[in-house]
Structure 1
Amino acid sequence: MALSIWEALAVLAAGIGAGTINTIVGSGTLITFPVLLATGLPPITANVSNALGLVPGSISGAIGYRAELKGQKRRILRLGGAALLGGLIGAILLLALPSDAFDAIVPILIGLALVLVLLQPRIAAAVKRRREQTGTEAHPDGGPVLLGGLFLASMYGGYFGAAQGVLYLSLMGLLLHDNLQRINAVKNILGALVNGVAAVFFLFVADFDWTAVLLIAVGSTIGGQIGAKVGRKLPPTVLRGVIIAVGVVAILQLTLR
């Protein structure tokens, strides 16, 4: 489908915004998806085009956070496997299930994730005290509970992806004993893996619009670098506030659309 110059500029700007917010928190799809629908693309085609276009932005954001990734290779390999499998299954479900299949449950999931983000410091402190009393240590990679949670979050990410980053941050923030910026760096890698595996699958089996894909790809790549510069400077409390604010907007948009 041919886009007018103004539509093309709108999609490019949406890509920049999505790449920026995805790197800092997640939920960039809530910017790009409505814009693609407004250009006249069918929902499934818009969703697939969006997933393809955001892959370079995810990679760009991960590169921007490369300093925070040091020492996390083992963790990324372990969690990345669950993300890849979940993302592939989610991409398959996108083409197999009705487009509104997750509409009812997704706002609830995001709401629970926000509660976890908000309460994470207190919960983590309580868990730490409990471990000190029992003499046990935290699993460096979160253990089976985190793997299972990330698998389900990645399955949702391959299906649609709005606020996927919020789900990742809430799970890892609760189950990993690490600072929020290093966790955010891992989140960007997992997002790149999920978007990437879904994109490869979509290339062979789904309809997409190359113009939209390229515009979002260029925009999200730029946005990924912007997001990395901004996000890495945010103190943990401010970053947590941004996560909650974005999550609330995501819930409102998903329930009201």
Structure 2
Amino acid sequence: MSLLDIGLLVVAGFFAGLVGFVTGLASIVSYPALLAVGLPPVTANVTNTVAMVAVGVGALSNSTREVADTGPKLWRWALYSAAGGLVGAGILLLAPAGSFEAIVPFMVAFAALALLLQPRLRALAGGRDMPRTYSVSLFVVAIYGGYFGAGAGVIFLAIALILTSEKIWRATILKSFLLGVANLVAAIGFAAFGPVHWGAAAAMAIGALAGGWCGPPVVRRIPPSVLRVVIAMAGFGLAVWLWVR
């Protein structure tokens, strides 16, 4: 890679980290950047997963108290995310290329619609927490996160806001942490068995770390209803892009 390529990946990593924390759409910035510097699709995919671990690290370093306040259930959720990330990585490495990619745009669009309807859906649920349903959903979404991940943050956020009583600010932090866990487990598998481009991963991770760190202060300043609608609209845009690409 040239110095220009490295610079592009650092800058793309920063915006992927910031956008990823705020909206859950990091891969829509980072994945095309990796393709732009010449990486093949599978290499770009696994390299992206490795690099995006830095988003969670950066965000966690700037929101440790909020994550810790979740209590013991956080570790149970982390285990579901880790297991899903491991399964997703295995699918990417072992299954035929393109496995279940056809349903991904519909998954993202459904999550975006759920975000728009979240107040009504919570009202229909009587405001109750649904811990078992949330745990299973978390595991399923983490599989997708470990497999490809574009829009996984939107889906994470949607299930948190619908199946738990978490407010959007804390749900955004938890989304970043739990998706980071899924990415970390998948990244370990890719490091051992996948075609990771370590130079590209390192360059993008530097930017992603800074972008993730900047994410929590930005989200604190956005009104919750505005943030929810913006993320939903971005999710619909991503679904269209995944459908036509």
Q: Secondary structure at the match of 1:73?
A: coil
Match of 2:196 in 1: 208
The aligned residue for residue 172 of structure 1 is 160
Q: Which residue of 1 aligns with 2:85?
A: 87
Alpha-carbon displacement from aligned partner over 1:150-201 (angstroms, at most 9, x marks no partner): 1110000000010111001111100111211111111111011011101111
Gaps of 5+ in 2: none
In structure 1, the residue matched to 2:169 is 181
Mapping for residues 91-240 of structure 1, pairs under 5 Å: 91-128=89-126, 138-139=128-129, 142-240=130-228
Contact 2:153 2:179 in 1 (8 A): yes
SS in 2 for 1:182: helix
What is the CA-CA distance between 1:17 and the residue it aligns to?
A: 0.9
Cross-structure match for 1:32: 30
* AA at the equivalent of 1:256: V
* 2:21 paired with 1:23: yes
Which secondary structure does the structure 1 equivalent of 2:114 belong to?
Answer: helix
State the 1:242 CA deviation. Answer: 2.1
CA distance in 1, matches of 2:110, 2:59: 26
The answer to whether the 8 Å contact 1:53/1:216 transfers is yes
Report the residue type matching 2:132 in the other structure: P
Q: 1 CA distance for matches of 2:184 and 2:67?
A: 19
**Residue identity matched to 2:180:** A
Counterpart residue number, 1:47: 45
Structure 1 residue ranges (4+ consecutive) displaced by more than 6 angstroms after TM superposition: none
The alignment covers a number of residue pairs equal to 245
Aligned to 1:78: 76
Give the aligned partner of residue 135 of structure 1.
none
Letter of the 1:91 partner, please give it.
Answer: A
| RMSD (Å) for aligned C-alpha atoms | 1.4
Q: Distance in 1 between matches of 2:60 and 2:158?
A: 18
Equivalent position SS for 1:72: coil
Match of 1:68 among 62, 66, 69: 66
Q: CA deviation at 1:209?
A: 0.9
Shift of 1:216: 0.9
Give the conservation status (yes or no) of the 8 Å contact 2:173–2:216: no
Aligned partner letter, 2:220: R
Q: Which amino acid aligns with 2:100?
A: F
Percent of aligned pairs with the same residue? 33
Q: What residue ranges of structure 1 are gaps of 5+ in the alignment?
A: 132-137
> What TM-score do you get using the length of structure 1 for normalisation?
0.91
SS in 2 for 1:169: helix
Alpha-carbon distance between aligned partners in 2 of 1:22 and 1:13, rounded to the nearest angstrom: 14
The Cα shift of 1:144 comes to 1.4
TM-score, normalised with respect to structure 2: 0.95
